[in-house]
């Protein structure tokens, strides 16, 4: 299984990036290989609108089955869930590596709805 997490850098010990659509990277953890990789998301950082949707497409292209995030808007949420990606809520103070540990031990809650109404 591949798990995607918004990241501001390639350091898994730093906190999750709270800006899903405008995160600089997506950390991808492959739990079968026990391996980390990072996907640049810079093409979406300066978009005037639609960054969440474009980032959701980026997650889908990564073949992730799970997204761990602090925020996700309605359009990205809809696209991700229609693609079969489960979304779990994380606290912004949680490190990327601790978010994966929290998911694996069942301490994160699955999102049933977006965390916000859209642009914020």
Pairing of strands 2-7, 86-89: unpaired
Residue that is written with structure tokens 């916000």 in the block: 116
What does each C-alpha distance from 120 to 13, 37, 74, 79, 84 come to in angstroms? 27, 29, 12, 19, 26
Distance CA(52)–CA(62), nearest Å, equals: 15
pTM of the model: 0.92
* Residues sharing a CB contact under 8 Å with residue 61, sequence separation 6 or more, in sequence order: none
Q: What is the pLDDT of residues 64-118, one digit of tens each?
A: 999 999 999 999 999 999 999 999 999 989 999 999 999 999 999 999 999 887 5
Of the candidate CATH numbers 3.30.420.130, 3.30.9.100, 3.30.420.10, 3.30.70.360, the domain formed by 2-110 belongs to 3.30.420.130
């Amino acid at each position: 299984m591949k798990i995607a997490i918004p990241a501001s850098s390639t350091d898994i010990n730093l906190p999750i990036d709270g800006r899903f659509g405008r995160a600089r990277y997506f950390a991808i953890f492959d739990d079968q290989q026990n391996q980390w990789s990072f996907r640049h998301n810079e093409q979406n950082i300066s978009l005037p609108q639609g960054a969440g949707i474009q980032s959701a497409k980026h997650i889908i292209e990564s073949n992730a089955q799970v997204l761990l995030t602090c925020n996700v808007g309605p359009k990205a949420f809809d696209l991700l869930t229609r693609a079969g990606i489960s979304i779990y809520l994380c606290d912004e103070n949680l490190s990327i590596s601790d978010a994966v540990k929290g998911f694996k031990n069942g301490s994160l809650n699955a999102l049933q709805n977006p965390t916000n109404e859209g642009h914020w």
